[in-house]
Structure 1
Amino acid sequence: MFATRAAQPTASVLSAGIQTRNMGTLREIQIRLNSIKNIGKITKSMKMIASTKVSKAQRAMEQARIYGSSSASIYENAKTASLETESHAFIVSSSDRGLCGGIHSSVAKATRRLIDAEGSDAHSSVIVLGDKAKNQMSRTNRDDIQLSFNQIGKSIPTFAEASAAADTIFTSGVKFDNATIIYNKFMSAISYEATPLRNYSIESLKASENFAAYELDDEVLQNYNEFLFANNIYWALVEGHASEMSAKRTAMENATKNAGDMVDRLTMTYNRTRQAAITSELVDIITGASAL
């Protein structure tokens, strides 16, 4: 009798501790489970929004490709090349939006490789379109950044925005002759590639091998070269926007799938923990009934 009475409160204390611990664990699992379900709903909604924007971005990209490739064909037909004495600038095209994978870091890495290829003696000016690429470039090339733009990527870029950016670059005092625009080229719905787009100076264009075939006045050539620069910026922005929307859709799809997998695992853990708590309570009840 003494042994039974002594063991009974000890069993009650232990069962109370197990029950409290299990209930605390169940409560934590339930809170985390609800949080992940809400995150899954958000990522699913963002995926649907990105899916609707991809088709519009692709249509704008196809139009920009036609104008960009046709207007820049003068460089290819004239066989234009940069002169050795000319200065160079790199224009990094990105946006301010995130949650789209490593699309912004790809253009930053490609720009770093091009800067390293120029050599340590050459000072390259960097102009950044978008805060995401600016954050990436500031880690390694902070001193090279001469100008940056933000408020990019909220909607499909327009030629007016590209022209305003080009005018700001020309009037900002940044000195360069040739420019290389690094942007994400849309390859398919699931792939993109950081691609350079060259823009040459008037002197390089005049020194081209086949430039004599074009009978252009200096004033017309100046206006045309500025138009090419703005058009190339527009091409890069629109192409990068389409790549960004496609990458965002893929990223949100993967995030939604991962959230679903975590919900399944946590649901299984919750059920097992709950069953263990119920079994422990039943054991305590049966043990107490047997002791009585």
Structure 2
Amino acid sequence: MFARRTLARISSQPSPLGAAPQNARNMATLREIELRLKSVRNIEKITKSMKMIASTKLAKAQRAMQSGKQYGLANSVVFENATAENPAKRKLFIVVSSDKGLCGGIHSSVSKATRRALADEENVVDSDSPVMVIGDKSKAQLSRAVPQNLALTFNQIGRDIPTFADAAGVADLIVKSDAKYDSIAIVYNKFVSAISYEPAIVEVLNENTLKESPGFKVYEMEDDVTKDLAEFSLANAIYAALVEAHACEQSARRNAMDNASKNASDMISSLTMQYNRGRQAAITNELVDIITGASAL
């Protein structure tokens, strides 16, 4: 009789708080849920902070974008009077992205647009069109898709608001490169609104095309003038694309961090409910064990 009571007391000892029931080996313990809840809360704090930072940077980027668009308008006026007589046989694609992530699919959009444009070029004229990439994100994507077309890459540009000096440096390296092309296509993200963007392609004429255009043949110009104009137009177009792509990136990052914060809040609510249910079940099991042990005595 004494042995039976002793066994009853041992078997009825309350399990530690937070332990999973014996019939549910795969159920997460309260300690695991508590650690995960703490981790998700920390992630929510980080995403909210990043959202506020991106919102502040977005306002500055939009002001810089409005100023940078004037450079693109100046280019469009020049190219309206410099139409090429013969279609370009070989295009140089300049892809504008950045080195930073955590901004949704903004880098994938320009990479996909570049691949589509290259596919169209293969069907029309030339399949060896060179590609130059600004930013490590699109570089990594295009190096897997079209490694044979990559001619030059740039990084550490646009970490803050892009300047005309950044664009001029890129244009200078492009002009000095050995890439052969008849025209230039800049692939970038066009700012539609604070919550949306779309990939766009802007055409830039090179020095030879400007010389052969009927609008420029009317005037007697030295070779250096046309060369400087072509390089300056390229720098203008790159700068306009950089500032607009930067504004799109900040907008996409803010939206991505907002969605991440909402998802974290939903996960916190779900984990809190799961934790409360598990804690209540553990307390109930302890009460049952205590009552059982008292009855056995």
Q: Taking structure 1 as the reference length, what is the TM-score of the superposition? A: 0.91
- Counterpart of 1:110 in structure 2 is 113
Alpha-carbon distance change, 152 to 82 in structure 1, aligned in 2, over 3 angstroms: farther
Q: Which has the higher helix share?
A: 1
1:211-226 → structure 2 map (5 Å cutoff): 211=216, 216-226=221-231
- Matched positions, count: 290
- Counterpart of 2:96 in structure 1 is 93
Q: Following TM superposition, by how much is the alpha carbon of 1:214 offset from its aligned partner in structure 2, in angstroms? A: 5.7
Structure 1 Cα separation of the partners of residues 226 and 85 of structure 2 = 17
AA aligned opposite 2:96: S
AA aligned opposite 1:5: R
Please give the per-residue CA displacement for 1:73-132, whole angstroms capped at 9, x wherever unaligned.
Answer: 211244x14734642211100000000000000000000000000116521101000000
Please give the per-residue CA displacement for 1:15-63, whole angstroms capped at 9, x wherever unaligned.
Answer: 5389633697111111100100000000000000000000100011001
Structure 2 Cα separation of the partners of residues 12 and 166 of structure 1 = 79
1:123-272 → structure 2 map (5 Å cutoff): 123-211=128-216, 216-272=221-277
AA aligned opposite 1:261: D
AA aligned opposite 1:20: A
3-state SS, counterpart of residue 139 of structure 1:
helix
AA aligned opposite 2:78: I
Question: Runs (4+) of structure 1 moved beyond 6 Å?
Answer: none
AA aligned opposite 1:21: A
Q: Is the CA contact 1:57–1:241 (under 8 Å) kept in the aligned structure 2?
A: yes
- Counterpart of 1:40 in structure 2 is 44
Structure 1 Cα separation of the partners of residues 239 and 251 of structure 2 = 18
Alpha-carbon distance change, 218 to 258 in structure 1, aligned in 2, over 3 angstroms: same
- Counterpart of 1:16 in structure 2 is 15
Structure 2 Cα separation of the partners of residues 280 and 288 of structure 1 = 12
Structure 1 Cα separation of the partners of residues 217 and 181 of structure 2 = 25
Unaligned runs of 5+ in 2: 22-26
Q: Following TM superposition, by how much is the alpha carbon of 1:213 offset from its aligned partner in structure 2, in angstroms? A: 6.1
Q: Is the CA contact 1:82–1:200 (under 8 Å) kept in the aligned structure 2?
A: no
Q: Following TM superposition, by how much is the alpha carbon of 1:10 offset from its aligned partner in structure 2, in angstroms? A: 6.9
Q: Is the CA contact 2:85–2:213 (under 8 Å) kept in the aligned structure 1?
A: no
AA aligned opposite 2:209: S
Q: Following TM superposition, by how much is the alpha carbon of 1:219 offset from its aligned partner in structure 2, in angstroms? A: 2.5
Q: Is the CA contact 1:19–1:281 (under 8 Å) kept in the aligned structure 2?
A: no
Q: Is the CA contact 2:18–2:31 (under 8 Å) kept in the aligned structure 1?
A: no
Q: Taking structure 2 as the reference length, what is the TM-score of the superposition? A: 0.90
Unaligned runs of 5+ in 1: none
Q: Is the CA contact 1:4–1:291 (under 8 Å) kept in the aligned structure 2?
A: no
Alpha-carbon distance change, 224 to 85 in structure 1, aligned in 2, over 3 angstroms: closer
Q: Following TM superposition, by how much is the alpha carbon of 1:238 offset from its aligned partner in structure 2, in angstroms? A: 0.7
AA aligned opposite 2:5: R
3-state SS, counterpart of residue 21 of structure 1:
coil
3-state SS, counterpart of residue 151 of structure 2:
strand
Bigger mean CA deviation after superposition, 80-89 or 163-172? 80-89
Q: What percentage of residue pairs aligned between the two structures are identical?
A: 56
Structure 2 Cα separation of the partners of residues 111 and 195 of structure 1 = 10
AA aligned opposite 1:38: N
Q: Following TM superposition, by how much is the alpha carbon of 1:205 offset from its aligned partner in structure 2, in angstroms? A: 2.5
Structure 2 Cα separation of the partners of residues 213 and 39 of structure 1 = 64
Structure 2 Cα separation of the partners of residues 153 and 2 of structure 1 = 81
AA aligned opposite 2:8: Q
- Counterpart of 2:58 in structure 1 is 54
Bigger mean CA deviation after superposition, 243-252 or 15-24? 15-24
